[in-house]
Amino acid sequence: MTSIFLPLVDTMITHYWRNLKYPVITSIKRYLCTTKTNAFVEEASVSQSAKVLTDGAFRRKTIYGSTVESTYAGALSFLRRNYTRNLENVEIAVTGIPLDLATTFRPGTRFGPAGIRQASCQLAELKSYPDGIDLFEDLAVIDYGDCYFDPSFPHTVPEAIENHAWEIIKHNVKQVLDCIFMLGGDHYGTYPLLKAHVKHHKRPLALVQFDAHCDTWKDTKGLNHGTMFYHAIKENLIDPEHSIQVGIRTFNDDFMGVKILDADFVHSNGPAKVAEEILERVGNHKCYLTFDIDCLDPAFAPGTGTPVSGGLSTYQALSILRQIRKLAFVGGDIVEVSPPYDNSSITSLAAATIGYNFLCLLRNKKILDKTFNFGNRLKKDV
């Protein structure tokens, strides 16, 4: 009996083993592999998933921190910030005003916001220089997208821009939004933006203007990127007593009481002295930074509407900007970038770098100047 049974059992085992061994071994292998893969994925999620995320502008779940993606691909936003109109807990909202109606010479600034966003992606790859920090760990910045206006009805454009800015600024009342930063667009866009700011702050602002032109030439109230500050001063949007213009190298009979540090002064005295003059002039008044890219020499910013020779280098401008952290900025802009006249994105890159350094300045103000309190600052009588 045994002699019959044993071969039968042996046959059965052999048969089942043949059929089972591969699935069993495969299952064991699969289990081991899965465990290993899970461990790898988990490790990656800790060390990298917070940093590698294509199209982070739409897919990042938090408005803080940075993600790394290919500098040449993915959804474009300013410095890869979240592209959103949700202003909850936002400290800085970046928005584009693709205005191209008020230039007196070369057009093309309608492409400015897109050009600056594209150039900024390269800057979002690394920690900031010279601080070596990810400023977005400390500062909640979003890209609010562009303002819509109908250029076929030019008379409606200023109000459309003011309303767009007001939609953002009015969040100051209850939330922490503290600053708006505009990507231009021709320089006229600053005028309706100032209106929206003054509507909130209920007082004229000190203007810190980097420009080849004063933009206070007198005219009728048309769309002109060289006259809007004449009207802004007349309408009490700007306080000329505490305002200053840097890099000027065009003439006006009347600078309307604004202090002028012309391009010669910058070249002769250097960035540290210029920063000192700005700090002294503005003091602790609430102020607005307006940076016309034509403040830079055409060698550093050829892509602009009205270039003027003899201007600042990009280095001089950045150096001055890094030394005026003490100021109480409530808003700012970088304007007049015209990509069709640019070469190798020199101008867009300069504009993106200036914008990036303005955000670094605000971050350092928040973290290093302990007296600066985002959200509550507006309640104080600064």
Cβ-based nearer residue to Mn ion, 144 or 229: 229
Cβ-based nearer residue to Mn ion, 80 or 249: 249
What are residue 292's phi and psi, to 5 degrees?
A: -80, 125
Within 290-309, which residues bind Mn ion (CB under 5 A)?
A: 292, 294
CB of 187 to Mn ion, least distance (A): 6
Stretch that binds Mn ion, among 105-113, 152-160, 211-219, 257-265 (CB under 5 A): 211-219
CB of 306 to Mn ion, least distance (A): 6
- Kindly tell me the sign of the dihedral angle through the C-alpha atoms of 113, 114, 117, 118: negative
CB of 211 to Mn ion, least distance (A): 4
Number of residues located near Mn ion, criterion CB under 5 A? 5
Cβ-based nearer residue to Mn ion, 113 or 247: 247
Relative to beta strand 259-262, strand 286-292 is unpaired
CB of 314 to Mn ion, least distance (A): 16
Is 211 a binding residue for Mn ion by CB under 5 A? The answer is yes
Stretch that binds Mn ion, among 27-35, 209-217, 276-284, 362-370 (CB under 5 A): 209-217
CB of 248 to Mn ion, least distance (A): 9
Cβ-based nearer residue to Mn ion, 143 or 211: 211
Stretch that binds Mn ion, among 109-117, 213-221, 354-362, 373-381 (CB under 5 A): 213-221
Is 249 a binding residue for Mn ion by CB under 5 A? The answer is no
Determine which residue in the list 213, 231, 249, 377 makes contact with Mn ion, applying CB under 5 A: 213
Cβ-based nearer residue to Mn ion, 143 or 215: 215
Cβ-based nearer residue to Mn ion, 292 or 297: 292
Is 365 a binding residue for Mn ion by CB under 5 A? The answer is no
Cβ-based nearer residue to Mn ion, 274 or 335: 335
What is the binding site for Mn ion (CB under 5 A)? Answer: 211-213, 292, 294
